[in-house]
Amino acid sequence: MGYAIAIDGPAGAGKSTIARLAAEKLGLIYIDTGAMYRGVALFFIRNNIDYTDKEQAQKVCEDIDINIIYEDGAQQLILNGENITSHIRNEQIGKAASSVAKHICIREKLVDIQRKLACDNNVIMDGRDIGTKVLPGANIKIYLTASPAVRAKRRYDELIKKGIECDIKDIENDIIARDNEDMNRAVSPLKKADDALLLDTSDMSIDEVVAYINNIYKENTL
């Protein structure tokens, strides 16, 4: 295995923004595992497959080929040869990803790909089960969280900035529902690894969190 930083936490905790910036600063490859579950969810949606159907999920595993490539340093998700990166960033896909992520066959397939990437590269990988399941031997593990209200406000500001009308209470309710699904599923639920550092970013800026990770990395690699 290469050098690895595992970042886990609930939806909207800022994992991807922070992991991307930290990767740039530390010269690591950023791997967004949520994007892979989102890619599988897109396949279910496009093919009208019931998220809960176990047999269909097995067939999906046989039918899909997921690959990650990098363009100008940015992760691109390739599903059966098509670059679907621009199709997976919306709430519908986020919720669907949380549902399809319950299937053990899908998790096994994606975890294999994730481990292979971590074997060949020095990585910072974010998701829900990186410290507990995908890379239990990671050099640094961080569990990033923030209160549901703070996470909802961040998401709300992002959408408003894009000119998308939304209701902050609806967003908070969606966040709480997704936390529930991710924390209570039978296979690899979202949970802080015993040896992960807990970081509540409710009152921290992005720069402060990145600086914190940078310091831990420096101490760890001295």
Handedness of CA 174, 176, 177, 181 (dihedral sign): positive
Of the two residues 190 and 210, which places its CB atom closer to ligand DC in the complex?
190
Of the two residues 85 and 98, which places its CB atom closer to ligand DC in the complex?
98
Residue 135 in the binding site for ligand DC (CB under 6 A): no
Of the two residues 186 and 222, which places its CB atom closer to ligand DC in the complex?
186
Handedness of CA 36, 213, 142, 157 (dihedral sign): negative
Residues whose CB falls within 8 Å of the CB of residue 7, separated by 6 or more in sequence, listed in order: 15, 18, 19, 124, 125, 126, 127, 130, 141, 142, 143, 144
Query: Where does this chain touch ligand DC (CB under 6 A) — which range of 51-59, 97-105, 156-164, 166-174?
Result: 97-105
| Minimum distance, C-beta of residue 219 to ligand DC, in the bound complex (Å) | 26
Task: Give the separation between CA 222 and CA 218, rounded to whole angstroms.
Answer: 6
Site for ligand DC in 101-120 (CB under 6 A): 101
Task: With both helix axes pointing from N to C terminus, report the angle between 15-26 and 206-221 in degrees, rounded to the nearest 10.
Answer: 50
Instruction: For residue 189, report the phi and psi dihedrals to the nearest 5 degrees.
Output: -65, 160
Among 128, 151, 154, 155, binds ligand DC (CB under 6 A): 128
Among 5, 18, 79, 94, binds ligand DC (CB under 6 A): 94
Among 11, 124, 138, 152, binds ligand DC (CB under 6 A): 11
Among 20, 38, 109, 154, binds ligand DC (CB under 6 A): 38
Among 5, 7, 68, 97, binds ligand DC (CB under 6 A): 97
